[in-house]
A and B are shown apart, each in its own frame.
Chain A
Amino acid sequence: MGVKGHSRSMEWLVMQAHDGQLPERHRAAVAAHLVDCAECRSYLGATRSVSAWLRSRESAPEFSPAFSEVWRGVASRLPASAGPLPWWGAWRWVKLGGWSFRPGWLAAVGLTAALLLLLVNPYGRLPLPQSHEASVAFVEASDYPVIVMMPAHPHEMTVIWLFEQGAPPVPPT
């Protein structure tokens, strides 16, 4: 069923139909409207004529230059030593999960995170909490006593060898 009466909105739809951009659900209505509307037919006629004229004109051989003519002008102005781009220039855009980014961005984020980690690093910078007193274990070895001090963190360990005077400090195997 066609839409009665001419309007700017209908011309917009006619334009989209001409460009092949009109959703399919509107096509039948626009086609029906064109049968009754002289104004929209006129607009479509002008649009088609301009389109055909532009395409015929731009494809005319007298307009288009030869490739050699274009390339001569381009090549003469290219940098003399067109070597590989520097490492930062060669880093291309990477697409991942709908996001485009450059690897350099990841490096910058990583560097920032590392700096932040250094600033707030508790190891060796901040005093140990009061509750973290070193635990001391006393190990009775067969020939000499050993005190093992285990500070707040599991990867730190201080071992103090106690031995009687004159006895050699032999580490355990």
Chain B
Amino acid sequence: MEPTDEELVEQVRNGETSAFRTLVERHYQKVFGVAMGMVRNRDDALDLTQEAFLHVHRSISGFRSSAKFSTWVYRIVTNLCLDHFRRVGRSPQTVELPPLLEDDAPPMDWPDPAAEPPDDAVHRSEVRRALDGAFAQLSAPHRAVMVLREVEGLSYEEIAEAMGCSVGTVMSRLYYARKRLQVLLASYGPGGAEGKQ
């Protein structure tokens, strides 16, 4: 039977490098996925992934056994990504967006998911490009909640723990991120500005 994360952590505390290697092997893909989702650059994401695991090794004595190891690692890599943006002075590009939350705003003409399965839609190259561009315009915290929720499948509570904020903040960021993507993508959908061209 494979050792649990907690057992591996205990072994790392006792100086077993092989246990640390196993921990890295077990979690590196998810950690890289979070970093890649936030920084959108493979080399930077790889550096941040490695830095996150070095941070784990340095701080493992402070890891509370009551917490989930993966959530703790997510928190580390998320903070490293946010620090990365501060350090390089380059937040993800932001653009002026139309007002988002006016209840009398016209409805977005996005394909009905019931009429067109999302898998079909996302494989259209123009939509993929549009999504890539729209996602790049989100702020780092908004990207982080999107990646943790959509890619890693974390619950609101787990995201809140990983990002060190409240569940309400997580929900608010998720809502605004999706709303912004909806607005940005509207012009690429059928009936949108780009779609009409």
Contacts and interface: CB of A to CB of B under 8 A. Distances in A.
Interface string B53-66: 11001000101111
A119 B123 CA distance: 77
B13 A90 contact: yes
Interface of B: 10, 13-15, 17, 20-21, 24-25, 28-29, 32-33, 36-37, 42, 46-47, 49-50, 53-54, 57, 61, 63-66, 101, 103, 107-114, 118-119, 121-123, 127-128, 131-132, 135, 146-147, 149-151, 155-156, 171, 174-175, 178-179, 181-182, 185
Interface string A54-89: 111110000111010111011101100011110001
Contacts of B13: 84-85, 89-90, 92
A144 B177 CA distance: 100
Interface of A: 6-8, 11-12, 15-16, 19, 21, 38-39, 41-58, 63-65, 67, 69-71, 73-75, 77-78, 82-85, 89-95, 100
Contact of B111 (A45, A50, A78): A45
Q: At the interface, is chain B mostly helix, strand, loop or mixed?
A: helix
Given A41-B112, A77-B54, A90 B185 contact: no
Contacts of A47: 178, 182
Contacts of A83: 15
Nearest to B151: A58
Given A45-B111, A55-B151, A70-B49, A78 B54 contact: yes
B36 A51 contact: no
A39 B107 contact: yes
A77 B174 contact: no
Nearest to A78: B57
B155 to A, nearest CB: 7
Contact of B181 (A19, A50, A65, A73): A50
Q: Select the residue from A11, A70, A78, A83 with max chain B CB neighbours within 10 A.
A: A70
Contacts of A85: 13-15, 61
B156 A52 contact: no
Given A50-B181, A56-B122, 13 more contacts: A16-B171, A19-B174, A46-B185, A48-B118, A49-B122, A54-B150, A58-B147, A67-B25, A75-B17, A91-B61, A93-B63, A93-B65, A95-B66
Q: At the interface, is chain A mostly helix, strand, loop or mixed?
A: helix
Contact of B175 (A12, A45, A95): A12
A51 B50 contact: no
Contact of B103 (A8, A38, A57, A64): A8
Nearest to B26: A67
Q: Select the residue from A8, A41, A53 with max chain B CB neighbours within 10 A.
A: A53
B49 to A, nearest CB: 6
Contacts of B32: 63-65, 70
Contacts of B147: 54, 58
B50 A92 contact: no
Contacts of B111: 45, 49
A100 B107 contact: no
A45 B109 CA distance: 10
Q: Select the residue from B50, B103, B128 with max chain A CB neighbours within 10 A.
A: B50
B66 A93 contact: yes
A42 B182 contact: yes
Contact of B108 (A42, A63, A94): A42
A71 B24 CA distance: 7
